[in-house]
A and B are shown apart, each in its own frame.
Chain A
Amino acid sequence: MNPHEARPGRVAPADGSCPACGEPLVAGARFCESCGTPTGLPPDDVAGAGRPDGLPACDRCGGEVGPDGYCTVCGHRAEDPVEVHAVGPVGWATHRGYRHHRNEDAGGVVRTAEGWPVLVVADGVSASPSPDEASAAAVEAVVAALRDRPVTGEGDLAAALEAAHAAVSALPHDRDPHWPPDDTHPACTIAVAVAGPTVRVANVGDARAYLLAPAGDGWRATQLSSDDSVAAAAVAQGIDLEVALALPGGHGITAWLGADAFDLDPHLTSVDAPAGALVLVCSDGLWNYAPTDEAMSALVSAALGPPGRPAGPLPAICELLVRWALDQGGADNVTVALAPVGDTSELEENP
């Protein structure tokens, strides 16, 4: 089927021929079929409008998107929707961003035996094979280690990360079609938070966990995790975080899960949470755009609205934060999880 024939109501430029190569134009075409020169016709009714025939439309050219996700006319891969998981009042959201061709982040939410929410976010290392499998395996292992189990101290989280490290290390390193055969192994970073009255956090790499405490009309974000990054090492020597992140290799990580990692040495933190506090766990796809506690405080204050008058359910806030990161450029996969501290309501994933 010629996609243009199914789209009446358009006209080709007056003389009906390509300004560049002189070949006749298909009526309504936005590009010359011979040389690809734009005809100057606007993409008018294409964006998000769907097609008259009800098939999904390409957000670039309005063509039909095929079952494999590629536009059947211009070949563009359709933009993925933000993936949102609502688990009772708890939730997480994720997107592959605009610069990575696949989502190498993974997330998960479960409850401990005490009923407290556990938030997990793992971020596959792009400079390794099968990073998406690495993050998925890490989240799966942490979820299995903490689901319906009592969490009495930081040792429980350390054990969960040991399990995640073992799971990632066990992955084959030679089955990523996008990675040349070499000796690099799958790897990921991870942050885990148990949102009990005492918030407990464990992390390896640069995925982060924050405590969000009500502060007047807004929220105060405090990073509980510690980055294993070149930038963090520079900060430890007294350099400002924003300057450190701009250093060459500032975003490089110095610890990760997987067979290539050094001895596993997760950062472990516990803090008693004030009433009404929230816990946020995210990948660097979010915090790169709000790297300091001040910037993150401003961001979550804008997203959440004043304490006590929430702007919406937390899963929706997660989606809002992911969309904000996409609006900043979406340079990386982005994943955000949010839970109210001490919440013990029943967890059923909403459809």
Chain B
Amino acid sequence: MSTGPASPFTAETYQNEYLAAGADTVDAVVTVEAAGDEQAAGAAAVRGGADRAEVIIFDTSGSMGTARKLEAAKEAAAAAVDSLDDGVSFAVIAGDHQARLVWPVDGRSFATATPADREGAKAAIAAAQAAGGTAIGTWLDLARTLFASTTASARHAILLTDGRNEHQQPHELAAAVQACRGLFQCDCRGVGVDWEVEELRGIATALLGTVDIVADPEDLAADFRAMISSSQARALPDVRLRLWTPQGAVLESLRQVAPEVLDLTGAGTPSGPLTQDFLLGGWAPGEARDYHLRIKVRPGEVGDEMLAGRVSLVLADGTVATQALVRAVWTDDVAKSTRIDQHVAHYTGQVELAEAIQEGLHAAKAGDHATATVKLGRAVQLAAASGHDETMKLLSKVVEIQDAERGTVRLRPRAERSAEMTLDTRSTRTVRLGRRSGDGAPEGGSPTPREGT
């Protein structure tokens, strides 16, 4: 299904296309890889530093004044400024119950990463004081105003907070996030343990960014440098996934399932009578992401073949870079229709793993220890089965694992809050399954009579 070496993307479908008579649900995993060679990106690629805009948003609410958080945040913001490639447009926002543009301060929307502007920005950052409340929506509103004024094709922000969105109604934040969608990508970080995982995850998911906890303020600077570096590696801005489905079909779900779970189901916007586009944000050369689709179609007759979905990767300039087909073939051969594709099975398990962790932690927080034990036990079982060592390590800080294979666990009575929040924020990270070659162990062939010539 690839379009050859010159294309910036390749896509491949993994599915069991065979359905029993009357069956109407088509599952498939589509793996997408960006070419390792930056040249392949062609005309749609980011054209140097001048074509990139970065906004650094850090929390200066009163609570940041404790535990050296503000000092660490200022150092991190300064480190981010230093990490910018020469010529990148950038701005720095300090946020409490309102947003303040820290740099530039001369009426421009964006400064340019030059020695003078870098020094000016760092001095302004250093002067920030901790005071006031937290209204994250106002920070996003200001960032949106800035990004709306730039023609840079790559637009990215970092948002750091240590608390909940207390000085704003949830619907105000939701509206602010919605207005930013598609305008810029935003990586979100929570420092300390007094912020809300769900809240930051909601922002990061809608704005196609990552979410993580930085429990120790001393780790912030390294993390900011890493975020700027990943952002600047994204040579292909504003990639979209276009999904065609046949008339009468319903997209039951579309999730990014690797490198982490991201539910895209309701996020599509119509781009034609039978197509919808999903924003994927920027891609770095060599990057790989996997998507799980579930499409409900009108069942065909035995022997019918239907195209249940066509996945296209669309570049910022509208070029279709590659396509992958999701098919449905109705058969009365039970051996074929009952087979489960191992990619679909694997990622179904990974999504269940993320859900089990989130539901388990939610139950624990609500004092429902029975449900928490069952859910986190199931998570341990799924992590063990898929070899997800990283999640297993995080789980073991929250539960005592007695039998990983059976999922027998006991809640740790005094688990650290930061351990629970780390497990929660990283619950969506998945392990990726290998490519088709080398998959699966060979089975013995049997010289018995064979059906179906």
Select one of A36, A77, A252 contacting B248, CB under 8 A.
A36
Q: Is B325 an interface residue (CB 8 A)?
A: yes
Q: Which residues of B contact A251 (CB under 8 A)?
A: 451-452
Select one of A31, A77, A183, A185 contacting B247, CB under 8 A.
A31
Q: Is B449 an interface residue (CB 8 A)?
A: yes
Q: How many chain B residues have a CB neighbour from A under 8 Å?
A: 42
Q: Is A351 an interface residue (CB 8 A)?
A: no
Q: Is B304 an interface residue (CB 8 A)?
A: yes
Distance A91 CA – B147 CA, assembled complex (angstroms): 69
Q: How many chain A residues have a CB neighbour from B under 8 Å?
A: 61
Are B249 and A99 in contact, with the CB atoms below 8 A? no
Distance A342 CA – B371 CA, assembled complex (angstroms): 82
Distance A284 CA – B308 CA, assembled complex (angstroms): 31
Are B451 and A74 in contact, with the CB atoms below 8 A? no
Complex interface residues of chain B between 308 and 323 (CB less than 8 A to chain A): 308
Binds B, one of A108-116, A125-133, A155-163, A269-277: A125-133
**Which residue on chain B has the smallest CB distance to residue A233?**
B449
Select one of A32, A98, A123, A184 contacting B453, CB under 8 A.
A123
Min C-beta distance of B6 to chain A, whole Å: 20
Are A71 and B451 in contact, with the CB atoms below 8 A? no
A-contact 0/1 string along B361-401, CB 8 Å cutoff: 00000000000000000000000000000000000000000
Min C-beta distance of B306 to chain A, whole Å: 4
Select one of B246, B274, B302, B339 contacting A99, CB under 8 A.
B302
* Given contact pairs A125-B450, A188-B453, A181 touches B439 in the complex (Cβ within 8 A): yes
Q: Which residues of B contact A68 (CB under 8 A)?
A: 307, 325
Distance A56 CA – B437 CA, assembled complex (angstroms): 38
Q: Which residues of B contact A126 (CB under 8 A)?
A: 333, 451-453
Q: Which residues of B contact A75 (CB under 8 A)?
A: 245-247, 249, 297, 306-308
Are A77 and B307 in contact, with the CB atoms below 8 A? yes
A-contact 0/1 string along B240-267, CB 8 Å cutoff: 0000011111100000000000000000
Binds A, one of B54-62, B213-221, B440-448: B440-448
- B residues lining the A interface (CB < 8 Å): 17, 245-250, 273-274, 297-298, 300-308, 325, 329, 331-333, 335, 339, 342, 436-437, 439-440, 442-445, 447, 449-453
Q: Which residues of A contact B342 (CB under 8 A)?
A: 180
> Can you identify 20 A-B contacts, CB atoms within 8 angstroms?
A3-B273, A31-B247, A70-B306, A74-B248, A74-B298, A75-B249, A75-B308, A76-B300, A76-B306, A77-B304, A99-B302, A101-B303, A125-B453, A178-B17, A180-B440, A182-B440, A184-B445, A249-B451, A253-B450, A283-B453
Q: Which residues of B contact A71 (CB under 8 A)?
A: 246, 307
Which of A2, A36, A187, A260 neighbours the largest number of chain B CB atoms within 10 Å of its CB? A36
B-contact 0/1 string along A29-66, CB 8 Å cutoff: 10111011000000000000000000000000101000
Are A254 and B449 in contact, with the CB atoms below 8 A? yes
Which of A126, A128, A249 neighbours the largest number of chain B CB atoms within 10 Å of its CB? A126
Are A189 and B453 in contact, with the CB atoms below 8 A? yes
Distance A234 CA – B335 CA, assembled complex (angstroms): 25
**Which residue on chain B has the smallest CB distance to residue A229?**
B449
Are A100 and B303 in contact, with the CB atoms below 8 A? yes
Q: Is A97 an interface residue (CB 8 A)?
A: yes
**Which residue on chain B has the smallest CB distance to residue A78?**
B305
Q: Is A206 an interface residue (CB 8 A)?
A: yes
Q: Is A319 an interface residue (CB 8 A)?
A: no
Closest 5 CB pairs of A and B: A36-B248, A75-B246, A252-B449, A126-B452, A99-B303
Are A128 and B303 in contact, with the CB atoms below 8 A? no
Q: Which residues of B contact A2 (CB under 8 A)?
A: 273
**Which residue on chain B has the smallest CB distance to residue A5?**
B273
Distance A99 CA – B331 CA, assembled complex (angstroms): 7
Distance A262 CA – B447 CA, assembled complex (angstroms): 8
Q: Which residues of A contact B449 (CB under 8 A)?
A: 229-230, 249, 252-254
**Which residue on chain B has the smallest CB distance to residue A66?**
B307
Complex interface residues of chain A between 158 and 199 (CB less than 8 A to chain B): 174, 177-178, 180-185, 187-189
Q: Is A73 an interface residue (CB 8 A)?
A: yes
Q: Is A124 an interface residue (CB 8 A)?
A: yes
B-contact 0/1 string along A213-237, CB 8 Å cutoff: 0000000000000000110000000
Distance A187 CA – B241 CA, assembled complex (angstroms): 39
Q: Which residues of A contact B302 (CB under 8 A)?
A: 98-99
* Given contact pairs A32-B248, A73-B246, A181-B442, A252 touches B303 in the complex (Cβ within 8 A): no
Distance A119 CA – B451 CA, assembled complex (angstroms): 25
Q: Is A117 an interface residue (CB 8 A)?
A: no
Are B304 and A284 in contact, with the CB atoms below 8 A? no
Which of B273, B308, B440 neighbours the largest number of chain A CB atoms within 10 Å of its CB? B273
Q: Which residues of A contact B439 (CB under 8 A)?
A: 181
* Given contact pairs A70-B307, A74-B246, A330-B303, A183 touches B451 in the complex (Cβ within 8 A): no
**Which residue on chain A has the smallest CB distance to residue B328?**
A75
Select one of A3, A36, A207, A252 contacting B249, CB under 8 A.
A36
Min C-beta distance of A248 to chain B, whole Å: 10
Q: Which residues of B contact A283 (CB under 8 A)?
A: 453
Select one of B248, B329, B437, B453 contacting A284, CB under 8 A.
B453
Q: Which residues of B contact A315 (CB under 8 A)?
A: none
Distance A251 CA – B453 CA, assembled complex (angstroms): 9
Distance A97 CA – B246 CA, assembled complex (angstroms): 24
**Which residue on chain A has the smallest CB distance to residue B1?**
A177
* Given contact pairs A75-B308, A178-B17, A36 touches B331 in the complex (Cβ within 8 A): no
Q: Which residues of A contact B332 (CB under 8 A)?
A: 99
Min C-beta distance of A191 to chain B, whole Å: 11
Q: Is A256 an interface residue (CB 8 A)?
A: yes
Are A125 and B452 in contact, with the CB atoms below 8 A? yes
Q: Which residues of B contact A1 (CB under 8 A)?
A: 273
Q: Is A205 an interface residue (CB 8 A)?
A: yes
**Which residue on chain A has the smallest CB distance to residue B309?**
A75
Are A127 and B304 in contact, with the CB atoms below 8 A? no
Are A185 and B453 in contact, with the CB atoms below 8 A? no
Q: Which residues of B contact A185 (CB under 8 A)?
A: 445
Distance A71 CA – B451 CA, assembled complex (angstroms): 32
**Which residue on chain B has the smallest CB distance to residue A2?**
B273
Distance A326 CA – B437 CA, assembled complex (angstroms): 37
Select one of B335, B442, B447, B453 contacting A206, CB under 8 A.
B453
Select one of B250, B437, B453 contacting A124, CB under 8 A.
B453
Are A252 and B451 in contact, with the CB atoms below 8 A? yes
Min C-beta distance of B121 to chain A, whole Å: 51
Min C-beta distance of B10 to chain A, whole Å: 15
Are A36 and B298 in contact, with the CB atoms below 8 A? yes
Q: Which residues of A contact B301 (CB under 8 A)?
A: 98
Select one of A70, A98, A123, A180 contacting B303, CB under 8 A.
A98
Are A183 and B443 in contact, with the CB atoms below 8 A? yes
- Given A33-B273, A98-B301, A182-B443, 16 more A-B residue pairs with CB atoms under 8 Å apart are A31-B247, A31-B298, A71-B246, A74-B248, A74-B306, A76-B306, A125-B452, A128-B450, A178-B17, A180-B342, A182-B445, A187-B450, A189-B453, A230-B449, A253-B449, A260-B445
Min C-beta distance of A25 to chain B, whole Å: 12
Distance A165 CA – B247 CA, assembled complex (angstroms): 46
* Given contact pairs A36-B249, A74-B246, A101 touches B305 in the complex (Cβ within 8 A): yes
